[in-house]
Structure 1
Amino acid sequence: MLLCTLGLISTLGATPARAEMSLLMFEEVGCMWCARWNADVSPEYPITPEGIAAPLRRLDIHDALPEDLALTSRPRFTPTFVLIEDGTEVGRIEGYPGEDFFWGLLARLIAQATPED
């Protein structure tokens, strides 16, 4: 995770004008994997480089999609994490594979969305 974080920091620092990014978390009541993510990741997420680059926005999977979002498809599983750049989906993680895998997958999505100059 440290190498991914260092790479993410250098990627974010190399971008002169970043697009507006956010991470959508589609969840539902009773989702045990959502609860696990909440225990493992949620407390630290806002203070990580990833959380600063893509603040978290929680959505109920059963609610109508907000009009400001353009997704490639409607999420079907919880949790589903969708990386949004200027309102448009640029990547997603379906399910929660555990903390170590989550951070690596998210760092890769953010790096792909913010290519180095």
Structure 2
Amino acid sequence: MQGVKKDNKPAKAAPANEISSTTVSLYYSHIQIMLIDNSASIRFPMLRQIIRFSLATALSIAATTSSFAAQLVMVDQKGCHYCEAWLDDIGPAYPKTAEGKFAPLLRRDISLGAPEGSSFQRRVNFTPTFILLDKGAEVGRIEGYPGEDFFWPLLNQLLKDETTFEDSLN
């Protein structure tokens, strides 16, 4: 065959200075976990197994811990003007506030229902709807977005009434 070169040599190994790595970052209520697996660069198989086991253990602990934290689910949909207003007015500041650190935000499309491992008390009919989850179960909700001046007090009161949240201002 013309133009085809047969080469029976084995493929060359990757240079020793190249490192294969995996980085996993998890954000939960008050914790950020960052795990870096550079085990491909480790020459001792037993050490490589220990690192992989540690990574898997840390991920499972983080996943289990997250199900016990309070979480605010924002149910929205494409084209929702009030959802966009909330994202403009409050979205950038929310994770930096005491409320946002206590109950991190999870955005969820209205067509998807409750997040896996969680449940809503009733169907969501309006967007945005803010559903407060504690240990995966709905403990309260705010339907609609009444504006920044009303949203913060409503959320603050909901958190104080339904969770262990303590406002730093009082």
Question: Which band: TM-score by shorter chain?
Answer: 0.7 to 0.9
- 1:40-51 alignment to 2 at 5 Å? 40-51=89-100
Name the residue aligned to 1:15. none
Q: How many pairs align? A: 98
Find out whether 1:85 has 2:85 as its counterpart: no
Query: TM-score under structure 2 normalisation?
Result: 0.55
The one of 40, 58, 62 aligned to 2:107: 58
Q: What amino acid maps onto 2:134 in structure 1?
A: E
- 1:10-25 alignment to 2 at 5 Å? 20-25=69-74
Query: TM-score under structure 1 normalisation?
Result: 0.79
Find out whether 1:102 has 2:135 as its counterpart: no
SS in 2 for 1:20: coil
Structure 2 segments unaligned to the other structure (5+ residues): 1-67, 166-170
Name the residue aligned to 2:80. 31
Conserved 8 A contact 2:133-2:140: yes
Q: What amino acid maps onto 1:109 in structure 2?
A: L
TM-aligned CA deviation for residue 114 of structure 1: 2.7
SS in 2 for 1:92: strand
SS in 1 for 2:111: coil
Structure showing greater radius of gyration is 2
TM-aligned CA deviation for residue 69 of structure 1: 1.1
Cα pair distance change 1:64/1:86, threshold 3 Å: same
TM-aligned CA deviation for residue 62 of structure 1: 1.1
Q: Which has the higher contact order (CA 8 A, sep 6+)?
A: 1
- Percent of residue pairs bearing the same amino acid type: 49
Residues in 1 aligned to 2:138 and 2:95: alpha-carbon distance in whole angstroms = 20
| Displacement over 4 Å in runs of 4+ | none
TM-aligned CA deviation for residue 115 of structure 1: 5.2
Residues in 2 aligned to 1:72 and 1:82: alpha-carbon distance in whole angstroms = 10
Residues in 2 aligned to 1:114 and 1:71: alpha-carbon distance in whole angstroms = 16
Deviations 1:55-106 (A, max 9, x none): 0000000124333112110211000000000001110000000001000000
Residues in 1 aligned to 2:73 and 2:123: alpha-carbon distance in whole angstroms = 12
